[in-house]
Amino acid sequence: EKLLEIKELKRHFKVDRKNVLKAVDGITFDIFKGETFGLVGESGCGKSTAGRTILRLYEATAGKVEFQGKNVHSKKSKKELKNFNRKMQMIFQDPYASLNPRMTVKDIIAEGIDIHGIIKDKKERTNRVNELLETVGLNSEHGNRYPHEFSGGQRQRIGIARALAVDPEFIVADEPISALDVSIQAQVVNLLKRLQKERNLTYLFIAHDLSMVKHISDRIGVMYLGNMVEVAPSDELYEDPLHPYTRALLSAIPVANPEVERSRERIIIEGDVPSPVNPPSGCRFRTRCPLAMDVCAKAVPEFKEYKNGHWVACHLYDKDHQN
């Protein structure tokens, strides 16, 4: 069951009078109810911008985002917008920067409850906050303290409690574990997984490398320079990656078994990511692709379903363009 449909979504930023940064440049994919969709790519590929545009924190330049069949970006009444804001929440990479240092933890967590007028009774509000603190592994005493008194992992728990306070259905988690110690990362991932089960949540989980999303994602999308280049169920993406960029990302992950290591092809991507202000013609990956062909400079590869549920944008899988 589709919860979100993202169609040809674009988000451009004006850099100056002549130049436009095409941060997200026409991505199409669905997010199913109850799943975790992992969104992966190097920094600057547009994944955070995609997450924010899906949540309507940024206006879309073109295309649309349908949540439960309704376009998030079309003009709406205040009430409808409030409703969207309540159902769709965000967890940030740097929980410290996203928590107001002058507010107590309980007021931070209750902010959404207050804005949406969910609970008016003071005692009931306190009970709800305490319940949320417990849910994320903290306690009621923590509610009276300030963000700086907590460790990174605890601050991320506070950020999660804040997102949960309004009973959302969909959460964009933008690199929620990237800034944490490795020892803490698994704890936060496990917390997110448990909450997903208990509350039937749907996640868009953004990460910069494939090893981070492997265990949490049901399906994975790979972005390169503002485009979606591949989408597949997680297991399939790891076992049978189609796009040369996905293969390169996977070959960069070390594996424990030396037999597997030997049998794997190593793909080293040369060079830097080109500027999204002036991306290469045709396939945007062609300047770094070890398999680039003549056609790759001339024609933009279409993003299409190559086999059941496995989408790719690459001329290697295009029958008309084999050369």
Residues forming contacts to ligand SF4 in the complex (CB under 6 A) are: 243-244, 283, 285-286, 289, 291-293, 296, 301, 314-316
Pairing of strands 219-224, 36-40: parallel
Which residue has 């130049």 as its token pair? 19
Kindly write down the DSSP assignment for every residue of 168-211, as one continuous string: -SEEEEESTTTTS-HHHHHHHHHHHHHHHHHHT-EEEEEESSHH
Query: CB 200 → Mg ion: shortest distance, Å?
Result: 27
Phi and psi dihedrals of 142, rounded to 5? Answer: -60, -25
Q: How far is the CB of 174 from Mg ion (least distance, A)?
A: 6
Is residue 49 a contact residue for Mg ion (CB under 5 A)?
Answer: no
Position 87, amino acid: K
Shortest Å distance, C-beta 52 to Mg ion? 9
How crowded is residue 205: how many other Cβ atoms within 10 Å of its Cβ? 26
Q: Taking a C-beta distance cutoff of 8 angstroms, is the pair 67, 87 a contact?
A: yes
Shortest Cβ distance from residue 212 to Mg ion (Å)? 13
Q: Which does 106 bind (CB under 5 to 8 A by kind): ligand SF4, Mg ion, none?
A: none
Taking contact as CB under 5 A, which single stretch among the options 43-51, 59-67, 112-120, 235-243 is the one that binds Mg ion? 43-51
Residue 301 touches which member of Mg ion, ligand SF4, none, C-beta under 5-8 Å by kind: ligand SF4
Subset of residues 102 to 121 that bind Mg ion, contact rule: CB under 5 A: none
Smallest gap from residue 94 Cβ to Mg ion (A): 10
With CB cut-offs between 5 and 8 Å by kind, which of ligand SF4, Mg ion, none does residue 41 bind? none
48 binds, among Mg ion, ligand SF4, none (CB under 5 to 8 A by kind): Mg ion
Give the nearest distance from C-beta 219 to ligand SF4 in angstroms: 20
Q: Judged by CB, which is closer to Mg ion: 47, or 310?
A: 47
- Residue 21, C-beta contacts closer than 8 angstroms, at least 6 positions apart: 12, 13, 14, 15, 276, 277
**Are 109 and 161 contacting, i.e. CB atoms less than 8 angstroms apart?**
yes
With CB under 5 A as the contact rule, which of the stretches 48-56, 241-249, 269-277, 307-315 interacts with Mg ion? 48-56
What is the Cα–Cα distance from 233 to 210, expressed in whole angstroms?
13
Residue 119 contact among ligand SF4, Mg ion, none, beta carbon within 5 to 8 Å by kind: none
214 interacts with, out of Mg ion, ligand SF4, none, CB within 5 to 8 A per kind: none
Contact indicator for 289, 267 with CB cutoff of 8 Å = no
Interaction between residue 48 and Mg ion (CB under 5 A): yes
Output phi, psi for 242, to 5 deg: -100, -45
Binding residues for Mg ion, rule: CB under 5 A, are 48
